[in-house]
A = this chain, B = another copy of it.
Amino acid sequence: MTTGRRGARRSETARVAILAATVRLFATRGYDHLSIEGIAAEAGVAKQTIYRWWPSKGPLIAECMLEGMLLPGRFVPRDTGDVRADLAAWLDAIFGFLIDPTGESIFRSLISAAAENVEVGVRLRDSLGAASSLVERLGRGVEAGQIPPDAPLQEVSEALVGAVIVRALSRTPLAPGDPERLVDAVIGVHR
């Protein structure tokens, strides 16, 4: 049993080292140039150690996202009681991350990884809040009478997350008032 526990501890150390190496290489070289061989060298483990847990680089990136190692965990909309202001602040936080060249590079590499691997695609959508926190915040906006009760919340959140991705792909710079306009595009609070 003691040996077993030590084994588990060793595995966790290796796991964290592998994830950290993945993040470092991903952030500097992007998804295309990421290889299991390179990650193994960077983490100081054998390639087989990585392949024992992950079949390819896609699921590895997805696990880094799950651990909050690639996107900051702050992309959860707050609840101050004003859904329009809260969603605009949420967009501001994401666009603030994208203005930083490293953040922008990580985000675009994640989109590229998502295009190739469905696990990363689902994780990217969820990390930005489309699956849970964003829909929940919209739901409280409905309860507060700030969003029409028949608004399709899942689709509204997909449209918001999608707008962020379109901006990132077309490198459209953010103009003052853009977050508010994007929120108005989907929840029409101004109407």
Contacts and interface: CB of A to CB of B under 8 A. Distances in A.
Contacts of A122: 170-171
Contact of A150 (B32, B159, B191): B191
Copies in the complex: 2
Interface residues of A, number: 44
A114 B182 contact: no
Interface of A: 30, 32, 108-109, 111-112, 114-116, 118, 121-122, 124-125, 130, 148, 150-152, 154-156, 158-167, 169-171, 178, 181-182, 184-186, 188, 190-191
Given A124-B169, A151-B188, 10 more contacts: A108-B116, A111-B115, A121-B170, A121-B171, A125-B169, A151-B185, A152-B182, A152-B184, A158-B162, A158-B167
